[in-house]
Amino acid sequence: MKEILLKRIEDRTATVGIIGLGYVGLPLAVECAQGGFKVIGYDVSERVVRSLMEGRSHIQDVSSADLGSLVRRGLFEATTDEKRLSAADAISIAVPTPLVKTRDPDMSYVISASETVSRVAHEGLLVVLESTTYPGTTREVLLPMLEKLGHVVGEDVFLAFSPERVDPGNPVYHTKNTPKVVGGITPACTEIATALYSSVIDKVVPVSTTEAAELVKLLENTFRSVNIGLVNEMAIVCDKLGVDVWEVINAAATKPFGFMKFTPGPGIGGHCIPLDPHYLAWKMRTLNYKTRFIDLASEINSQMPAYVVEKVAQALNDERKPVNGSRVLIIGVAYKPNIDDMRESPALDVIRLLEQQGADVVFHDPHIPSFREDGHVRTGVELTAKELEQADAVVIVTDHRAVDYQMLMDHASLIVDSRNAMARAMRTRARVVSLANTHAGAPAATT
């Protein structure tokens, strides 16, 4: 079966199935189709499937033009019928892996997808889990399901893990040119998964086991979480010492070795950094080990929205204004610049905390005209001189390139800048308060 599947991959007669057509699955499906494979994308959302089959992409990193071309050429098909996956020679699982409120892993999506695979599995099938999860998931969840069907993994079916490394909105690195880590249950599993991904990805990095591959992703994002936590704490330290944290960071970044630049902000968001380290922490708790760095970084990062709100309150107080009744304009609600993704965005916490103190909060985001939260729809405001002049405080949470920061400086009276975005504007009217001013009334560090 290994040789047959390798030959089908080599001559592009293999069909690739993708379970989950979101930020991970759809870009992978497009790369596989553009690489010459017939791709069957499965998703439970009829709305998503209908839109994709009409050639309309719901993912910023996948153009509707590219998608529509693949649909018309018959290289990509989206469906809600799981039975269509029985035609696949390889199935990639790319479903969400959120946390429950107790920060324990919610494995329901992975288990559901695994059950789907078990209903369509056949000899000569490669199954690859891409969803970020705790070490041991592939071996503990998917392997028993395949073995229960009577398959011998590594001989008549093949199982591997390959962590997704999607960075939405990245103008340089995307699915094709981001190295792909692959680890199989057996060497044969690794070989076949490597062959498949090597057909469509520029570089594939094999590792010895599925557990090693699972840990790679967790290490990558734990590294980022811990370092963001460190630099966020440094912002607080600089604030108490009366030092400009941005000046310190930029000066430190001139060292050509031994230092990697991270910048502080209002918290962390997205589908990876706020969640992934907790998968590792949860797994280690089952082994009676406490991941202290992970827990401390999470504590610091989760406190940053409240720190930003405290800065707003201090700045308004210097203007002899209370938070209660003040109009606050939030700039940017996406979790990072230049995308339309709000998952785990710290802006939601900043808005909620300000409203709890009685502020009248509105927002502007050039990528998100409106959003739904707790059953209510929030609609953004246009960024106009009048809107800026009416605001008692403008709070920059996400520093999108499309925002006219000079306009903010010209028409706002008070700006709380959590991203150092105002460094790109010439001083005119506004008083700018950064994360690390000596106090809320201190002169801004921008010129």
Q: Which residues are catalytic?
A: 272
In contact, 279 and 133? CB cutoff 8 Å: yes
In contact, 300 and 232? CB cutoff 8 Å: yes
Q: Indicate the SS3 state at residue 332.
A: coil
In contact, 419 and 398? CB cutoff 8 Å: yes
Q: Could you tell me the two tokens for 431?
A: 């008083």
Beta pairing class for 90-93 and 15-19: parallel
Residue 418: exposure state from Cβ atoms within 10 A (0-12, 13-18, ≥19): buried
Rounded to 5°, the CA angle 138-140-142 comes to 50
Q: Could you tell me the two tokens for 59?
A: 């993912």
Q: Indicate the SS3 state at residue 139.
A: helix
Outline where 269-345 has alpha helix (H): 276-285, 292-318
Going along 6-135, which residue ranges are E strands?
A: 15-19, 38-42, 76-79, 90-93, 125-129
Q: In the Cβ-directed half-sphere of 112, how many Cα atoms lie within 13 Å?
A: 14
In contact, 58 and 51? CB cutoff 8 Å: yes
Cross-strand bridge partners of residue 182:
206
Question: Residue 118: CB partners within 8 Å, gap ≥ 6?
Answer: 145, 146, 148, 149
- Please count the other Cβ atoms lying within 10 Å of the Cβ belonging to residue 388: 22
Length of the chain, in residues: 447
Q: Could you tell me the two tokens for 14?
A: 């293999």
Alpha-carbon distance of 242 to 44, in angstroms, equals 53
